[in-house]
């Protein structure tokens, strides 16, 4: 059994193989994942510097204090 050469012998075929369009693989369908309840998610949030300074002035835990304030505002709306 003869094997084909590892490299194309014809330079034109080699160039065409090199520049041939790549086969596109269809992406897998996106799966929507719902977060379990009461699990904190990492987000990026822009706040005014004075608002941030207000929550940070009491030291560590400022993110929890912002979360508590937002939760209170959410519950007041109900």
Q: Is the pTM of this model over 0.75?
A: no
Domains of the chain by residue range: 42-78
SS3 percent helix, strand, coil of the chain, rounded to 5, is 40, 0, 60
d(CA 78, CA 57): 30
Q: Which residues contact 52 (CB under 8 A, 6 or more apart)?
A: 62
pLDDT value of position 44: 93
pLDDT value of position 51: 96
pLDDT value of position 7: 66
Q: What is the mean pLDDT of each run of 10 residues along the chain (78 residues)?
A: 70 81 80 81 93 96 95 90
Q: Which two structure tokens, joined as six digits, stand for 78? A: 């109900």
pLDDT value of position 14: 78
Q: Which residues contact 58 (CB under 8 A, 6 or more apart)?
A: 65
């Amino acid at each position: 059994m003869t094997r084909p050469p590892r490299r194309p012998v014809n330079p034109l075929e080699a160039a065409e193989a090199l520049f041939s369009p790549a086969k596109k693989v269809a992406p897998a369908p996106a799966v929507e994942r719902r977060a379990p309840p009461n699990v904190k998610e990492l987000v990026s949030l822009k706040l005014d510097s004075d608002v941030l300074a207000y929550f940070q002035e009491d030291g560590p835990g400022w993110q929890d204090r912002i979360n508590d304030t937002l939760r209170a505002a959410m519950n007041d709306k109900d």
